Amino acid sequence: MTRETEQSICTDAEWLGRSHCERCHIRRLMFFSELPGSAFSSLLKPIDHYIHPPGSVLYEAGSDKQFIYAIRRGMVKLVHETPEGSCRIVRLLGPGAAIGLELLEGAASYHHTAIAVDQVDLCKIPLSTTQQLQLEYPALCNRIGKQLQEQLDLADQWIVALSTGAAKQRVAQLLLILDEFFSDDNDSFILLNREDMAAMIGVAVETVSRMIAEFKRMKILYRLKDNRFQCNATALMKIIRDG
């Protein structure tokens, strides 16, 4: 457990050990919140707990791995890569979200590439384990349905907020999302790099840079420390409304 504070910069995930779901302190957030603690005693395959450094690939689109992941900490981006090399980020997920759920609905392989944005802490759940639990506890189905519905809502929001309107408005919407869903105790959030932001809203890197720089000059966006930022949500909403 002393490893928890380490963060080596390598592309391999760090194995933190077996997950102890029955005494997981964030289980109510998580995928298995419906289950009794006793459910985990008879699992055929273990659920493991890993830590991934920023930028590491959790899984690749099309690969046929057999794991679902539950995010405990950090941000994960789901990326769609076109054969021509350009890529578009279709979702940004944080603690409590589960990824790779398409495997449960019969997909032969992952539909996206999943990449850690910052340091990510997650539980790796064998597909067969979920299926086993699903048979024993039908209530787990509701949890899966809820996860899917939440991701569907996020995808719709992505279309409406991040893929519509002028570049300035999209950047403003993105900042509001970071502020709302990814801010910590002191209401500050990590400002993603320009490339990621560009891939989220579908504009050029330079355009994002210009908008962010302008927001900084206007004091609508300001640094707290390191790359933690705060924003003036009211001003951003005004920009989204009035253009």
Partner DNA sequence: CGAGGGGTTGACGCCGATCAAAGCTGGTGG
Partner DNA sequence: CCACCAGCTTTGATCGGCGTCAACCCCTCG
165 neighbors 54 (Cβ within 8 angstroms): no
- In whole angstroms, how close is the CB of 125 to its own copies at the nearest point? 16
- In whole angstroms, how close is the CB of 225 to DNA at the nearest point? 10
CA distance 189 to 186: 9
CA distance 93 to 29: 14
- In whole angstroms, how close is the CB of 212 to DNA at the nearest point? 5
Q: Taking contact as CB under 8 A, which single stretch among the options 135-143, 175-183, 186-194, 213-221 is the one that binds its own copies?
A: 135-143
Nearer to its own copies, 82 or 234 (CB): 82
CA distance 79 to 114: 6
Residue 241 interaction partner, one of its own copies, DNA, none, beta carbon < 5-8 Å per kind:
its own copies
Q: Residue 190: enclosing H or E segment and its boundaries?
A: strand 189-190
64 binds its own copies (CB under 8 A): no
The sheet with strand 14-18 has its strands ordered as 14-18, 48-52, 120-126, 67-73, 98-99
Neighbours of 150 (CB within 10 A): 14
Residues that bind its own copies (CB under 8 A): 80, 82, 84, 88, 90-91, 101-102, 104-107, 111-112, 138, 141-142, 144-146, 148-149, 151-153, 155-156, 158-160, 163-164, 202, 241
Residues that bind DNA (CB under 7 A): 166-168, 193-195, 202-207, 209-210, 212-213, 216
